[in-house]
Amino acid sequence: AKNPLFWVLSIGALNELETACHSLRLLVTLISGDTQFPELTLVLMVNDIPVEYYDSNVTRIVSRRHWIVNESIEESHLKNFVVQKIYKILTVFINQTIYRMHSSPAGVHVYQKFAACDLEGDSLTRFFLQDAYEGVETRNYDILTQAYSPLVPELIWTKVQMETKKLTYINVYQPLCLRTLRRYLQENKNILLRKGTVKNHFIDLLSSGKMNIVCLATGFYPRHIKMTLLRDERAVPDEELTAGEVFPNGDGTYQLRRSLALSEEEQRKKHVYTCTVTHLSLDNKLDVRWGMTHVECVQSKRPESASSPALYAGISLLIVLSVMGITGTLCWRRRTGKMKALG
């Protein structure tokens, strides 16, 4: 089934709740056809924050706000070379795909690429890429496990091609991706260590005799959070809940809410409801209890876990919208002598 244009946003969070994990991502969009958008757009992100941007109208890599790192002239040239290489490869592929799948190449067609490397402590925990055409997934490649899943004929590799790609990604892209991520983490560590502490609330909404109780967690960063609604110490089934998505606040933090509709019969039963939240900014699990007569806040101890450095998220929504919601990670080659290995 065809997915919406915001396919890449559904890939999932790269930072786990209980770990100090960071990711470098590349978001790439190539658009064929007459539109108001640039033909090629790339966004480089650390975790969920855009740090560098390129499009075919600007024709240069632009650092976003304070996200500037010291790099050599050689590395800047390598980054621009990679951009042009990506453009060439994607243009060839999208043209081949258009002519294979459409009797007429007219119209607007979109190809997307997402790639990421994850760093947990000093260890590389994930390194992968995913592609989509017209919102439909076309390829998955897990470089660490060498699990390659091409879903269209144009992306099937021979055994020799597979070995060549493996060597290129492991020996060129992987170390460069990690080096770039580590440099951003080191040179912006004061920002990356920032945390927004979660605030947990219950809200009563009463209308026409019906009551909705809403568990609201807000002000937290990073965005990964675990929220559970309990009824008399037992989890409320998901089918009874109206579950919201994590949304950005205007100050660079996030919010999440869960709501439960209470019938008059349920209100008479005097249940005690508990909204429990776990987040990296909390040393304790934060519980808020709601009954028919009072609201009570409780904190209960949980095992300590590694804290996760975080980034300011205020500009994320604007940048992602500017590239039609596409996400991913750019890994640059270490030296010019390795350029011939790419392709």
Same domain, 181 and 74: yes
Same domain, 178 and 238: no
pLDDT value of position 26: 92
Same domain, 143 and 25: yes
Query: For 215-244, what is each residue's pLDDT tens digit?
Result: 888 888 888 888 888 999 899 898 888 888
The answer, yes or no, to whether residue 342 has pLDDT greater than 60, is no
Same domain, 87 and 137: yes
Same domain, 211 and 63: no
The answer, yes or no, to whether residue 308 has pLDDT greater than 60, is no
Q: Which domain holds residue 216?
A: 199-301
Map tokens 């008479």 to a residue.
268
- Of residues 154 and 230, more confidence is placed in 230
pLDDT value of position 166: 92
Q: What is the mean pLDDT of residues 168-178?
A: 87
Query: For 62-120, what is each residue's pLDDT tens digit?
Result: 877 555 556 666 667 767 777 888 888 888 877 777 667 666 667 888 999 999 999 88
Same domain, 279 and 171: no
State the total domains in the chain: 2
**Domain at 280, CATH number:** 2.60.40.10
Contact in structure between 91 and 33 (CB atoms under 8 Å): no
Same domain, 38 and 154: yes
Same domain, 21 and 116: yes
The listed range with the strongest mean pLDDT (127-131, 186-190, 303-307) is 127-131
Query: For 241-279, what is each residue's pLDDT tens digit?
Result: 888 889 888 787 889 988 888 888 888 888 888 888 888
Query: For 13-36, what is each residue's pLDDT tens digit?
Result: 434 444 567 889 999 999 988 889
pLDDT value of position 75: 65
Same domain, 231 and 141: no
3-state secondary structure of 269: coil
Reported as a pLDDT band with limits 50, 70 and 90, residue 42 is very high
The answer, yes or no, to whether residue 314 has pLDDT greater than 80, is no
Cis-peptide, bond into residue 222, ω within 30° of zero: yes
* H or E, element range at 90: helix 73-101
Contact in structure between 41 and 323 (CB atoms under 8 Å): yes
Reported as a pLDDT band with limits 50, 70 and 90, residue 40 is very high
Reported as a pLDDT band with limits 50, 70 and 90, residue 191 is low
**Domain at 34, CATH number:** 3.30.500.10
Between β-strands 123-133 and 109-120, what pairing exists: parallel, antiparallel or unpaired?
Answer: antiparallel
Instruction: Supply the DSSP symbol for 3.
Output: P
Q: What is the mean pLDDT of residues 317-326?
A: 38
Same domain, 130 and 254: no
Instruction: State the Cα–Cα distance between residues 142 and 134, nearest whole angstrom.
Output: 22
Same domain, 61 and 101: yes
Same domain, 263 and 334: no
pTM of the model: 0.63
How many of the other CB atoms lie within 10 Å of CB of 37? 17
Q: What is the mean pLDDT of the chain?
A: 74
Instruction: Supply the DSSP symbol for 209.
Output: T
